[in-house]
Amino acid sequence: MATTFDDREKAFEAKFAHDAEMQFKAEARRNRLLGLWAAGLLGLDEAAAQDYARDVIRSDFQEAGDQDVFRKIRSDLPATVSDAEIREKMAALLAEAKSQILTELGI
């Protein structure tokens, strides 16, 4: 027989799983947007920009956290783009990605 505690525990676990999935989707979308931004700075055409964005998404699977994505972008962009500018763009695009996802979900 399920208790209120059991119900609350299941609800918490479901919310945790949902939040983790949403964060993963937002980070993947942020990485695509970041790749497209960097591709624009690199002067890539549309097809090459899409390929580059996929490479940025794949770079995120090297280690936990954002450092692998940052290193990928940093190594590809010229020194005229500062580390701070890249990190600021990453933060702004994560917020944009989350907003896009919430809008698509009608939230």
Q: Residue 106: left (phi > 0), alpha (psi -120 to 50), or beta?
A: left
- What whole-number distance in Å separates Cα of residue 102 and Cα of residue 97? 9
- What whole-number distance in Å separates Cα of residue 41 and Cα of residue 35? 10
pLDDT digits (tens, 9 = 90+) for 12-45: 887 877 778 899 899 999 999 999 999 999 999 9
Domains in the chain (CATH in brackets) are: 30-104 (1.10.790.20)
Q: What was the pLDDT predicted at 29?
A: 96
**CA–CA distances in Å: residue 50 to residues 32, 76, 99:** 8, 15, 22
pLDDT-derived band at 1 (thresholds 50, 70, 90) equals low
pLDDT digits (tens, 9 = 90+) for 76-95: 999 999 999 999 999 999 99
**Sequence-ordered alpha helix ranges (H) in the chain:** 4-42, 46-59, 67-76, 83-104
Q: What was the pLDDT predicted at 2?
A: 67
Q: Determine whether 55 is exposed, middle or buried from the number of CB atoms within 10 Å of its CB (0-12, 13-18, 19+).
A: middle
- What whole-number distance in Å separates Cα of residue 38 and Cα of residue 61? 19
Q: What was the pLDDT predicted at 78?
A: 94
